[in-house]
Amino acid sequence: IYPTLVHMGQEWAMRETLIDPQGNFGSVEGDPPAAMRYTEARMTHLGGVLMQDMDKDTVDFVPNYDERLTEPTVFPAAFPNLIVNGGTGIAVGMATNMPPHNLGEVIDGVCAQIDNPAITSGELMGHIKGPDFPTGCTIMGTAGIREYMETGHGSIRIRGQAEIVENGSREQIVITEIPFNVNRAELEKRIAALATEKVIPEISGVRNESDENSRLVVDLKKDARARGVLNTLYRHTELETSFSVHMLAIDGARPRVFSMKDAISCYIEHRREVIVRRTKFLLGKAEERAEKLEAFLLALGRIDDFIKIIRDSKNRDEARAGLKAYQFSTATAEQ
């Protein structure tokens, strides 16, 4: 449970974190989190929104693993977390790898599909431009995006953000964004190894100046061609890599590969069911409240009769039975 909680609070792993962490929750360089006795956590606003209205009979509950408690089969999910945060998993003969997307774009896409159920994937891409990785990076081309939007699987090339800057008579390559799921420390080691092995002899040194933001500085030798070195880094390191998309999820207890439109359709149907169940629950509560208020009005209108029934009763149970009988006889007479 603890590694899952930690993952939901890591800004470099989640597009929209569901946990607000306090303490050491690891780093993008692969550092482990502190033991759970040294950390604290609470839900973020979006984490709470996932479970909003769960107490209003909006989802089904089943017994937990030891049948002492019950747990929801699915969250009410007031926003499509699976599309926004993506997910990676491996099961028997199946695997899923969903990229994260921008929350605002996804909500716009959901609203557009509600307004126009016959919307095409191309029109949907007008709202959801493509993946939005929490570590930044650049997506090379749109062909892979269009493919997974339409079919549910495809491959996209992602490249870290780097710029060439002047440092006196020499140049430097400053890397400010790294591809999603790339370990920054391992990338630094790989660049240093390429320099040591003379694969890229133009590199004189590499250092990590990162704080909350990524900043790897690659120093170049005098007269080195920075653009050529950068292209070599893209070719030999994970500064450029690919993200293979396979949008497989469970729908109605069966695994299924979703296009983006199919995934949004399932979410819309889920929310429709949640809202209908919530409305029925609130209606039942309102009807129960109305019945009580009707009884209070009846009691106020015949307060002397009610007081007499209570005083003439021997105990609480007899008084309750007398009041119910009086209420029933009065209602029948009025009809």
Per DSSP bridges, beta strands 153-159 and 138-140 are antiparallel
Question: What is the Cα 20 distance to its own chain's centre?
Answer: 14
Q: Which member of 38, 65, 148, 326 is catalytic?
A: 38
> Active-site residue 38, yes or no?
yes
Contacts of 272-279 spanning 24+ positions with Cβ under 8 A: 274/53, 274/58, 274/59, 274/76, 274/77, 277/56, 277/57, 277/58, 277/59, 278/53, 278/56, 278/57, 278/58
Which among 98, 126, 132 is positioned nearest to 112, based on CA atoms?
A: 126
Which of helix, strand or coil describes residue 94?
strand
Our CA angle for 238, 240, 244, nearest 5°, is: 95
Q: Which residue has the tokens 């979006």?
A: 46
State residue 41 phi and psi, 5-degree precision.
-155, 150
Residues 6+ apart with CB under 8 A from 39: 6, 21, 22, 23, 24, 25, 33
**Phi and psi dihedrals of 311, rounded to 5?**
-65, -35
Kindly state the helix (H) or strand (E) to which residue 300 belongs, with its residue range: helix 260-301
- Burial (CB < 10 A; 0-12, 13-18, 19+), residue 269, is exposed
Token digits of residue 219: 């120093």
Active site residues: 38
